[in-house]
Amino acid sequence: MGCKYITMLGRSGWALVNSYYAAVRERGYQPDEVVIFAEEGTAGGLEAASEGIRAVSVKYGFQPRIRSEVVRDGDFVEAGRKMTETIKAWKASGNKIAVDITPGRKALVVGVLIPLNKLWVDHIFYLQIDDTSDSAKPYMTIPLGRQTLRLHRGGGCVEAMSSASRPSFTLDEEEAQILINLFLGDFELTYPITRIPLFSCTPTGGKYTLSTAITPESFGIRDEDPYLEGPSYADVLECMMSSGILGFTNMEEFKEKLKAYRAYKNTLFALDTNIVYRRFVSNTGLLNPKECVIVSTVRDEITSVHNYKYTQEQIIQMKIAAPFERGLLDELANRRMKKSRKAYRFANKELKALAAAIPLEAAERFSGQEGEGDRIIARTVSKCARERNAQIVLLTADSSMTDICDAEGIEHFLFEMPKEVPRESLCTGPQLRRLVADLACVLALVKMNSIIIYGEFRGKRDAEDLKAVFLDGRAADGFKKDLEVCRELKGLGFKF
């Protein structure tokens, strides 16, 4: 007697593998044999689908026999006959049987209804997803609130999981969704060095609600921070903006202005450095990178703060000032300071998104003196507008830049920064992932329930890397398994 599983390959290999992944992970179903039914038109995906099932199974400690059955396109009679034969043979040997109808095309689903109408099976699985956009990826990298595994009838064939002690894992921003899913989207984000509560997160349908009570006073007196490296209210606001949860407060005014700007045929938009840091273009989608101008001074201002690093003496002083969890700061020795982390996390990411923007060589050399960059950017934009006979609108969030623009006769728009973090915000899965990663990178580390998430740490090789340190070994076991499964599935190269 064993556990058997029938699934169907339709247009999406991810639908097949993810519904299997959900059945194994959420219901503990571990079949010893899997049969994949496919029509001739989708049979080309059978090898990748089999590899996906094999990858999930191995990570959960079992290895089923996998075989396939191909039927003619649209022939539900043939599909029904073959499925009936398979189920009858399994039932004769006293096996438990599960059927997954998630990924099947009409002929296969109708085909399986024929034997199901007459023959009892133990489980019928269906993975419901509320929105198929951004779903061509592993199950645990999609917000669980958007997915519901429907189970009709019985339980499963379950094996126990092992535990480990405080392991750590390096992961990227998308894989942070696995951490979020571990807690079903219900968790607290805090800054462990001072134990400041940052956000409470609860799932709301396929989205998340963030609640907070922080104020500028929540972060203490700045003089108590020897290098101004602790968290600040401004840091949290900036992370909320970078993640796309918050925007400039006068966005509606800009949208109206944008219509007027575009009435002029030859209009370009020059981005001030602060607009790049706020990730305005990639977050709003209002501008095409090809209509944006980046003065070389903007890049110079960003790169000029890339390589500020902590000395050992600074780490010692920070640990003396830290009220709690001082040992966590050891990871920051010889690592980037906050202004460097912001440049990499905010500005560099936006510059990559602006790869198609028009580069503009500055009219003057940037020496790094305070205020000099604004003047060079404005003069360069003014010169370019004259030479191209173009209208170039300089976008900025710095009121002092508007005075320079007026003096140079440059059209400009001043964006207004939000002054408060909302008490409650609704966000999407990608926005929440980015916020967690942004906070971890800007503050160097945050705590999500029983997990320390570092954005800056020893051995960090890629600017996008995060490090998760588990204080609960049982949660680590589940995360390790899901992380390995997701990485292996992404490596299979599904084309659909």
pLDDT tens, position by position, 143-162: 988 888 887 654 445 433 32
Q: Contact, 467 vs 166, CB < 8 A?
A: no
- Interval 125-143: pLDDT, tens: 889 887 778 889 999 999 9
Can you give the pLDDT at residue 162?
28
| Spatial distance between the Cα atoms of 113 and 6, rounded to a whole number of angstroms | 12
Better-scored residue on pLDDT, 422 or 162? 422
- Share of residues in the chain with pLDDT > 90 (%): 65
- For residue 290, give every residue at least 6 positions away whose Cβ sits within 8 Å of its Cβ, in sequence order, or none: 356, 357, 358
What domains does the chain contain, in order, with CATH numbers? 3-162 (3.40.50.11700), 168-478 (3.40.50.1010)
Confidence of residue 397 (pLDDT cuts 50, 70, 90): very high
pLDDT of residue 118: 59
DSSP, collapsed to helix, strand or coil, labels residue 227 as coil
Of 466, 208, 210, 217, which Cα lies nearest the Cα of 344?
A: 466
Q: Which of 146-155, 218-227, 337-346 has the lowest mean pLDDT?
A: 218-227
What's the pLDDT band for 163 if we cut at 50, 70, 90? very low
Give the per-residue pLDDT at 159.
39
Asked if the model's pLDDT at residue 170 lies above 90, the reply is yes
Nearest to 98 by CA among 38, 25, 163, 32: 32
* Separation in Å, CA 157 to CA 31, 57, 160: 7, 13, 10
Residue 400 pLDDT greater than 70, yes or no: yes
Check residues 367 and 325 and name the one with the higher pLDDT: 325
Reference 433, options 201, 252, 255, 233; nearest CA is 201
- pLDDT of residue 224 exceeding 70, the answer is no
pLDDT of 241: 97
> Rounded to an integer, what is the distance from CA 313 to the centroid of its chain?
35
C-alpha closest to that of 296 among 401, 376, 399 = 376
What's the mean pLDDT in 455-484?
91
Q: What pLDDT is stored for residue 228 in this prediction?
A: 67
Q: How many C-beta atoms surround the C-beta of residue 221 within 10 A? A: 7
d(CA 167, CA 359) in angstroms, rounded, equals 45
pLDDT-based confidence at 404, cuts 50/70/90? very high
pLDDT value at 203 more than 70: yes
pLDDT at 94: 84
Q: State yes or no: pLDDT of 293 exceeds 70.
A: yes
Q: Is the pLDDT of residue 226 over 60?
A: no
Q: Which residue has the higher pLDDT, 271 or 264?
A: 271
Strands 451-454 and 445-448 come out as antiparallel
Strand order in the sheet with 391-396: 358-360, 292-295, 267-271, 391-396, 412-414
- Average pLDDT in the chain: 89
Average pLDDT over residues 269-286: 97
Average pLDDT over every residue of 45-70: 94
Check residue 161 and give its pLDDT. Answer: 30
Which of 141, 143, 171 shows the shortest CA–CA distance to 490? 141
In terms of phi and psi (left: phi > 0; alpha: psi -120 to 50; beta: otherwise), the region of 208 is beta
Residue 139 tokens, joined: 């199950």
Q: Which residue has the higher pLDDT, 10 or 63?
A: 63
Q: How confident is the model at residue 475 (pLDDT cuts 50, 70, 90)?
A: confident
Q: Could you give phi then psi for residue 34, rounded to 5 degrees?
A: -125, 130
| Predicted pLDDT of residue 188 | 96
Strand (E) or helix (H) holding 388: helix 372-388
Q: Which of 45-49, 89-93, 304-308 is least confident? A: 89-93
How far apart, in whole angstroms, are the C-alpha atoms of residue 174 and residue 172? 6
User: Tokens 């993975």 belong to which residue?
Assistant: 127
Q: Crossing angle for the helix pair 473-490 and 13-27, nearest 10 degrees?
A: 160
Residue 155 has a pLDDT of 43
Highest mean predicted confidence (pLDDT) among 139-148, 216-225, 288-297, 358-367? 288-297
Confidence of residue 81 (pLDDT cuts 50, 70, 90): confident
Q: Which residue has the tokens 């929440």?
A: 432
> pLDDT band for position 392 (50/70/90)?
very high
